[in-house]
Structure 1
Amino acid sequence: MILKELERYFIAPRHHADAPLFYRYKLLLNASVFTSLFSSLYLIVSIAIRFQPGVYLMIFNVAGFLLLPFLMKTRMPIRTIGNLYVTTGTLAVVILIGYSGGIESPVFPWLIAPPVLALLTAGKMDAIAWATVSLACITTFIVYTIPGNPFPVRYQHDTRLFFVLLSSSGVVLIVVTISMIFESNTSKALASLTQQKKALQESQEELAARHQEIVEKNNTLAAQKEELLITSEQLKELNEKKDYLMEVLAHDLKSPLANIQGLIGLINTDHFQAGSVENDVVKLIVDSSRKSQVLIDKILNSENLENIVYNLRLETVDVSAIVSKVVDGFREIAARKNIQIKLLIDATQHCMATADKVYLVQVFENLLNNAIKFSLPGKQVFVSVICNGALVRTEVRDEGPGIAQDEMHMLFKKFKKLSNKPTAGESSSGLGLSIVKHYTELLKGRVWCESERGQGASFVVELPSS
């Protein structure tokens, strides 16, 4: 626990990410702490045997080894600190040997420690250098002793056996301690490597499973892509058939409409009074058949139904006049259901817009037809046209049941039928409002609905004014 706290304090956080470097810092810190404790023990022994140089040297060692960890908090390289650690210990050992009998000194075997300590704290090359230093020291002591130059003994001679025992035990303790530190850190490193290997193996297995999953998904996507291609071809074929059928239908309708127009031409309208109901009915039939003929011609002149936009014939039109004419055409239909159409247009104001007259009529006819279709007898439909600066705003408002909020998103979509039903059993294809939206957007305008349940509905069309 204490060592953990010392590691947290002395080893800078920046070193924790580099596992080998952190291991060297940790080993040097542990070695400094244990060597300081070991020196403290020999300080006590030196006092006991009255070995004055030993006392001073052990005090120096204790202080030196306790100060070394503070260098770890600086930017000094770990290799330099490790060599300072070995230098401190080696100087103390050499001086102790010199004051305790030279090669006869119980401390003499300690000269094996510097290269071992250097290997653990500094590095392989430094260990070789310190091994050379140790051999040089041993050689020097032996060469100096051969001519009969004894080294002084500064400890109490009658404690020699005790000093030999402690010194020999010290060598064993140094080797065992270093070995235990090395073994402990090595075991942790091996355990960490084992755990990393296991984690790597699990990751590889997971990646293999993911790879297999991706392969299966790719196969599924390939199959789905093939199905989509087939479906796309089928839809393309069906669309071509639909266009063909519509063209056939439009073509076949030309003959009945031509016959209707021919029969109307045979009707003698001279005996009809001007402004009479009969005369107005005949005019409405003529007008309706002509408009139908124009729409059919547009379809037949298109390469396909999606290209009707290319048949736009834009011109400056009086929206007020077009709306008035559409309303007049629906008054008879509204009267049959006892519904009154209120036209709210300023007679002095002409709201002009650039549009295709045929499509614009279709927009207003569909909106007015819906308003009448979904209104109960005795109700009113209000139609207004307002010039609003750069916009011409047309509104068709009814007094029908209104539209539920959860159904508003279905408005203007093809073949979407709402919960409201026509009030007189009229047919409803679900296409009218989608046509309104499509034609309005072709004319660079926009359309929307404002409604609350039970409060009727207002459909607003805005077109750029000209």
Structure 2
Amino acid sequence: MDIFGTRKLNKVMKIESAIDFFIHPVHFENPNVLRRARLFVRACLLTSFFSSSYIWMSVIFGYERGVYLMLFNVIGFLLLPLYAKTKVSIVLLGNVYVLIGAVAIVILTYYSGGVWSAIYPWIISIPVLALLVVNKSSGIIWGAISFLAMLWFGYKAYIGVELPVEYNPELRVEWYISVLPGLLLIVLFIAFVFESIQAKALEVLERNNKELKEQKETILLQSIELEKVVGEKDNIIRVLAHDLKSPLSNIQSLAKFINQDIDLEQKKLFVQLIERSSVNAQNLVNRVLEMDAAGQSDLNIQLVPVNTVSIIRNIIQPIKEGAKAKNIVLLFEDHTENALCDLDEIYLTLILENLISNAIKFSPENKKIHVVSTNEDNMLVISVIDEGPGIVEEDVNMLFKKFTKLRSRPTAGESSAGLGLSLVKRYVEMMGGRVWYEDAKTGGANFRVAFQLSPSKVID
């Protein structure tokens, strides 16, 4: 803002402060009442100043009654703002303001010739002031009163009644050219006030619209952020529910075998396997909860050197028991010289459990599943090969997409959410590896996972 704009703003603020001095605090509680109160005080002060100029005009034209009436107006209009400092209704005070002006105009018109008086047209200002300063209802009432007053003066002229002319008749022309422009000033004053009110209203409306737009944008951003958070929460729940299936399924299968007629050593082994699956499930839950508490949008991967062969053996043992329900034989073949990779054991376990569980799910009964680990070009490659129907060519490009439903269906009515392979791909890539599909020589499916080998070797 430039220096002139600043000065103008300061001047406006000083005027507002002076006007607010006359207004009781109770009127500040309602914005509409406050606006009316400020307009009332302005009108009183301006009308008082305007009326004071007509005191001297009345003196010049020898209109003694006009001097007294204008003094009455000036004093009345100066006293009225003081009542705005009380709790008296602004509507009531506004009507008193109009009444003072109306009494003065009607009396001055009567004693200056009625309809032939220069003051007669001023009667139209009465309802206009009421509409401006008070409200629409008062404007209508004062409009009716003014209309009746004008009809009365007209009737008097029609029947030939000559009303008194108390000003100097020799100055009739001067009287007209001096008094009538005052009506123009009043009309201009009213027009400027209305324009000012309209401009302020538009300014407030524009400011409110701007604030509303900003609030709308803020709400939209918050809504997007909320949808994102809800989406992340939903995704966490789906991932957790899916990844818990394998350890829980293993626990359930092993628990069934414990109840069978088996020797003590086998029961101890099953108990150990149940404990291991429970630990895996608990670790997974803890990891997801840590991720959620930290507000992370991705997985909390912790890469450490792990012996992949040892992990594969631990994974296969409980799954092997569950595969017996379909009479499927699960075989592990290790052809590695180096099985050490920097991986996250929890997510490596989830990857292999997903691939092996899928192989069991889509294999008919009485088949074999081979898990093979090899070293290829300084990479550890783990292959899960089944003897099922394989993947049709049209589905190969959709294998690792989320919620994909393939043409191949589980062979024993098992559920398939279409989420497992997308999670496998995500976990593998976050640990720096890659996963892909190949047709197995047996005609089934061959899912392969490759990770970079660590420099050192692990000796079994």
2:120 is aligned with 1:108: yes
2:139 is aligned with 1:127: yes
Taking the aligned partners of 2:20 and 2:252, their CA distance within structure 1 comes to: 77
Residue equivalent to 2:165: 153
Q: 1:210 aligns with which of 214, 219, 222?
A: 222
2:33 is aligned with 1:21: yes
Q: Compute the displacement of 1:56 (Å).
A: 0.6
2:62 is aligned with 1:50: yes
Q: Secondary structure at the match of 2:21?
A: helix
Q: 2:111 aligns with which of 85, 93, 99?
A: 99
Contact 1:68 1:81 in 2 (8 A): yes
User: Residues 393-416 of structure 1: CA distance to partner in whole angstroms, max 9, x if unpaired?
Assistant: xxxxxxxxxxxxxxxxxxxxxxxx
Taking the aligned partners of 1:157 and 1:39, their CA distance within structure 2 comes to: 22
Alignment of 1:266-415 (within 5 A): none
The one-letter amino acid of 1:40's match is S
Contact 1:54 1:96 in 2 (8 A): yes
Taking the aligned partners of 1:39 and 1:227, their CA distance within structure 2 comes to: 84
User: Residues 73-105 of structure 1: CA distance to partner in whole angstroms, max 9, x if unpaired?
Assistant: 222222211111111100000111122122111
Q: Secondary structure at the match of 1:149?
A: coil
User: Residues 254-301 of structure 1: CA distance to partner in whole angstroms, max 9, x if unpaired?
Assistant: xxxxxxxxxxxxxxxxxxxxxxxxxxxxxxxxxxxxxxxxxx9xxx9x
Residue equivalent to 1:34: 46
The one-letter amino acid of 1:199's match is E
The one-letter amino acid of 1:182's match is F
Taking the aligned partners of 2:190 and 2:82, their CA distance within structure 1 comes to: 21
The one-letter amino acid of 1:39's match is S
User: Residues 98-157 of structure 1: CA distance to partner in whole angstroms, max 9, x if unpaired?
Assistant: 221221111111000111011112222221111111111112122223343322222223
Contact 1:118 1:126 in 2 (8 A): yes
> TM-score, normalising length from structure 2?
0.50
**In the superposition, relative to structure 1, how do residues 227 and 159 fare at CA in structure 2: closer, same or farther (>3 Å)?**
same
Taking the aligned partners of 1:13 and 1:190, their CA distance within structure 2 comes to: 26
Taking the aligned partners of 2:109 and 2:219, their CA distance within structure 1 comes to: 62
**In the superposition, relative to structure 1, how do residues 78 and 235 fare at CA in structure 2: closer, same or farther (>3 Å)?**
farther
Taking the aligned partners of 2:54 and 2:103, their CA distance within structure 1 comes to: 15
> TM-score, normalising length from structure 1?
0.50
Residue equivalent to 1:189: 201
Q: Secondary structure at the match of 2:99?
A: helix
In structure 1, runs of 5+ residues without a counterpart are 245-250, 253-295, 306-466
2:64 is aligned with 1:69: no
Contact 1:106 1:168 in 2 (8 A): yes
Q: Compute the displacement of 1:304 (Å).
A: 8.5
Between 42-51 and 83-92, report the one with greater CA deviation: 42-51
**In the superposition, relative to structure 1, how do residues 70 and 233 fare at CA in structure 2: closer, same or farther (>3 Å)?**
farther
**In the superposition, relative to structure 1, how do residues 72 and 239 fare at CA in structure 2: closer, same or farther (>3 Å)?**
farther
**Percentage of matched positions with identical amino acids:** 33
**In the superposition, relative to structure 1, how do residues 227 and 17 fare at CA in structure 2: closer, same or farther (>3 Å)?**
farther
Contact 1:3 1:30 in 2 (8 A): no
Taking the aligned partners of 1:98 and 1:42, their CA distance within structure 2 comes to: 17
Taking the aligned partners of 1:183 and 1:119, their CA distance within structure 2 comes to: 14
The one-letter amino acid of 2:196's match is S
Taking the aligned partners of 1:62 and 1:235, their CA distance within structure 2 comes to: 95
Q: Compute the displacement of 1:160 (Å).
A: 2.4
**In the superposition, relative to structure 1, how do residues 64 and 233 fare at CA in structure 2: closer, same or farther (>3 Å)?**
same
Over alpha carbons, which structure has the higher Rg? 1
Alignment: residue pair count:
260
Taking the aligned partners of 2:195 and 2:204, their CA distance within structure 1 comes to: 14
Residue equivalent to 1:4: 16
Contact 2:24 2:87 in 1 (8 A): no
**In the superposition, relative to structure 1, how do residues 78 and 242 fare at CA in structure 2: closer, same or farther (>3 Å)?**
farther
Q: Compute the displacement of 1:170 (Å).
A: 0.7
Taking the aligned partners of 1:63 and 1:188, their CA distance within structure 2 comes to: 31
Between 160-169 and 227-236, report the one with greater CA deviation: 227-236
Taking the aligned partners of 1:187 and 1:146, their CA distance within structure 2 comes to: 45
Q: Secondary structure at the match of 1:64?
A: helix
2:195 is aligned with 1:179: no
Contact 2:115 2:153 in 1 (8 A): yes
The one-letter amino acid of 1:68's match is L
Residue equivalent to 2:179: 167
Residue equivalent to 2:150: 138
Contact 1:31 1:178 in 2 (8 A): no
